[in-house]
Amino acid sequence: MAREFNAPPVIFPSGGNPGAGMGPGATQRRATAPFPSKTTNPIPFMAFDVSNAPASTSFPPTQFAPGTIGGGGTGFEDEPPLLEELGINTKQIYQKTVSILNPFRIKSDLHNNADLSGPFLFLMAFGLFQLLAGKLHFGIILGWVTVASLFIYVVFNMLAGRNGNLDLYRCLSLIGYCMLPIVMLSAVALFVPQGGMVIMLMSGVFVIWSTRVCTRLLVELASYGDEHRGLIAYACFLIYSLFSLLVMF
């Protein structure tokens, strides 16, 4: 026995009845489809055809202010230089280097702010010139500078007692900057025969140069240094004489 399904009739907007010409008592029923037609797309953002999607699903592009990052940050033009962020002041290193080149007019106030950027540059240059001469002394140079700084630090604070204010960081900075004449000696020694009288006389001049500069800086920057000027000069002379031996032999 067939079972009838009650489906609502289809009502046309124009009010017409398409079953009127099918005879008296004829009624046309149309069942609604359980699924939407393939031609329709109830979910626009799932369609592969982007052109059929409504305009409401599109988002406006994000706009940033000119010269800003992320809409609220500072631009790259306002950022400090990389060397300044790392604590390397090239202008200060240049001024300290120029003051070392003139042993008779030393500006000790430039060395109030100790740094290790300039000394490290001079020590690497010293090792490079020694490498050009066929000597690999990078480790020896760095080790000797560290031991020499410890030596000056201990000797000076023992002489000054409780009033000594010389710290190890400043010792490293001063000894490293005063290595500039020895670096120049290593560069000149590339063109002078080793072991001769000429290189020995030149070494004596550059050692005295470094000793004078380092002694004056230590005396003027550290308290109670003037009372022990001779002992400080003797310690500096031993240090730079030791480095000159690397150049001569």
pLDDT tens digits for range 3-12:
665 666 666 5
pLDDT of 1: 53
pLDDT digits (tens, 9 = 90+) for 119-152: 999 999 999 999 999 999 999 999 999 999 999 9
Q: Is 152 within a domain? A: yes
User: Is 34 a member of any domain?
Assistant: no
CA 100 to chain centre: 28
Q: How many domains does the chain have?
A: 1
Instruction: Using alpha carbons, list the distances in angstroms from residue 50 to 36, 39, 40, 43, 152.
Output: 20, 15, 14, 12, 79
pLDDT value of position 43: 53
Q: Please state the pTM of the whole predicted model.
A: 0.67
Residue 101 CA: distances (Å) to CA of 104, 180, 183: 9, 8, 12
Tell me, yes or no, whether 36 lies in a domain. no
When pLDDT is averaged across residues 159-164 and rounded to a whole number, the result is 76
Distance CA 177, CA 75 (A): 37
Rounded to whole angstroms, how far apart are CA atoms 174 and 183? 15
Alpha carbons 113 and 208: distance in angstroms, whole number: 25
Per-residue confidence (pLDDT) for residue 54, from 0 to 100 = 54
Residue 184 has pLDDT above 90, yes or no: yes
Considering the domain boundaries, does residue 162 fall inside one? yes
Domain limits at 193?
Answer: 115-248
Given pLDDT bands bounded at 50, 70 and 90, which one contains residue 88?
confident
Give a yes or no: residue 32 inside a domain. Answer: no
CA distances from 201 to 141, 184, 191 (A): 22, 14, 15
Q: Which residue has the higher pLDDT, 224 or 172?
A: 172
Q: Is residue 107 part of a domain?
A: no
Query: 65: pLDDT confidence band, cut at 50, 70 and 90?
Result: low
User: DSSP characters for 2-55?
Assistant: ------PPP--TT---TTGGG-TT-----PPPSS--TT--S-GGG-S-GGGS-G
Give the DSSP H/E element, type plus range, for residue 147. helix 138-160
Return the structure tokens found at 101.
């080149």
DSSP state for residue 118 in the 8-state scheme: H
Q: Tell me the HSE value of 186 on the side-chain side, using a 13 A CA sphere.
A: 28
135 contact partners, CB below 8 Å, separation of at least 6: 246
Sign of the four-CA dihedral 78, 81, 87, 89: negative
Look at residue 113 in the predicted model and tell me its pLDDT.
87
User: Is pLDDT above 50 for 71?
Assistant: no
What's the rounded Cα separation, in Å, for the pair 110 and 92? 8
Q: Is residue 227 part of a domain?
A: yes
Percent of the chain with pLDDT over 90: 43
Residue 7 lies in a domain: no
